[in-house]
């Protein structure tokens, strides 16, 4: 007997634009926190910058399919993320570190990472090795069986990164992953981001402009829910060569672009 093959089974698994948003608006409570955003992101590490309240975390939540967009088009890994039934296969292929990483304090690092692997519908036989690899990649090998409640803030953040990467996601969303990391760990983390971005789409929100310059292939700058700038880190640096406020050319570029946008708004 010939088995019918569904469209999902023959669909290509890689997409030129793992994230495609057009006129995307997302509410946070009753507030329109993302307001008509147009972006297309491919493979690589994309740094998401913006002042407090710019809408970065709200955008991340929509991309992680945690909140439904209010308006506009959102296509994730080729699937319409505004259609409920399309979300399950997308969720299995994405990884997400929320800004507030909620966890069961009695779980060990290994429990938390394995639990996320299960939520991401990984084949059960693959889970222990995948969890171990994710824990090793964030350098928590010697704390793998420690309870989460016993970890420092930086270690907890690294456990959060491990749970986000356990399924080797094609789309990885990291909301302020470097908060609490010490300088040495931040340098190691940049290395890990570059590795992950070689064949996945990684979006990293941060307030550290230097992290973006060091580890990202492009920069997205948001303010008040809108896109201010998208370009390569060198463009950010170039904008800072003529003025602005900050300790480095990249920080000055950030302030120049933001002030120019606010002046024009």
Ligand X SMILES: Nc1ncnc2c1ncn2[C@@H]1O[C@H](COP(=O)(O)OP(=O)(O)OP(=O)(O)O)[C@@H](O)[C@H]1O
For ligand X, the binding residues in 87-106 under the rule CB under 6 A are 99
- Alpha-carbon gap, residue 44 to 21, rounded angstroms: 17
Residue 64 touches ligand X, criterion: CB under 6 A: no
- Alpha-carbon gap, residue 140 to 162, rounded angstroms: 9
For ligand X, the binding residues in 127-186 under the rule CB under 6 A are none
Closer residue to ligand X, CB minimum distance, 99 or 132: 99
Q: Do the beta carbons of residue 86 and residue 80 sit within 8 Å?
A: yes
Cβ 60 to ligand X, closest distance in Å? 8
Of the listed pieces 13-21, 46-54, 166-174, 182-190, which binds ligand X according to CB under 6 A? Answer: 46-54
Residue 219 touches ligand X, criterion: CB under 6 A: no
Residue 56 touches ligand X, criterion: CB under 6 A: yes
DSSP structure class, residue 15: -
| CA angle at 71 for the pair 40 and 219, rounded to the nearest 5° | 30
Q: Do the beta carbons of residue 203 and residue 42 sit within 8 Å?
A: no
x/- track of binding to ligand X for residues 18-37 (CB under 6 A): ----------xx-x-x----
- Alpha-carbon gap, residue 69 to 53, rounded angstroms: 18
Residues forming the site for ligand X (CB under 6 A): 28-29, 31, 33, 50, 52-58, 99
């Amino acid at each position: 007997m010939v088995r019918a093959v569904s469209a999902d089974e023959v669909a290509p698994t890689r997409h030129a634009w793992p994230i495609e948003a057009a006129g995307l608006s997302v509410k946070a409570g009753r507030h329109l926190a993302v307001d008509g955003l147009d972006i297309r992101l491919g493979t690589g590490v994309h740094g998401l910058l913006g002042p407090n309240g710019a809408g970065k975390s709200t955008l991340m939540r929509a991309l992680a399919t945690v909140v439904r967009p209010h308006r506009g088009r959102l296509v994730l890994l080729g699937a319409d993320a505004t259609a409920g039934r399309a979300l399950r296969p997308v969720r299995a292929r994405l990884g997400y570190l929320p800004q507030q990483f909620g966890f069961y304090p009695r779980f060990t690092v290994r429990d938390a990472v394995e639990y996320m692997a299960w939520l991401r519908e990984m084949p059960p036989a693959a889970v222990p090795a995948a969890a171990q690899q994710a824990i090793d990649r964030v350098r928590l090998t010697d704390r793998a069986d420690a309870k989460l409640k016993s970890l420092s803030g930086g270690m907890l953040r690294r456990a959060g990164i491990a749970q986000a990467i356990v399924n080797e996601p094609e789309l990885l969303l990291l909301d302020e992953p470097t908060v609490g990391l010490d300088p040495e760990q931040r340098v190691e983390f940049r290395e890990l981001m570059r590795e992950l971005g070689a064949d996945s789409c990684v979006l990293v929100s941060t307030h550290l402009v230097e992290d973006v310059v060091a580890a990202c292939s492009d920069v997205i700058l948001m303010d008040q829910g809108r896109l201010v700038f998208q370009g390569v880190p060198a463009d950010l640096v170039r904008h800072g060569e003529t003025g602005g406020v900050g300790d480095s050319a990249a920080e000055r570029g950030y302030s120049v672009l933001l002030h120019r946008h606010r002046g024009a708004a």
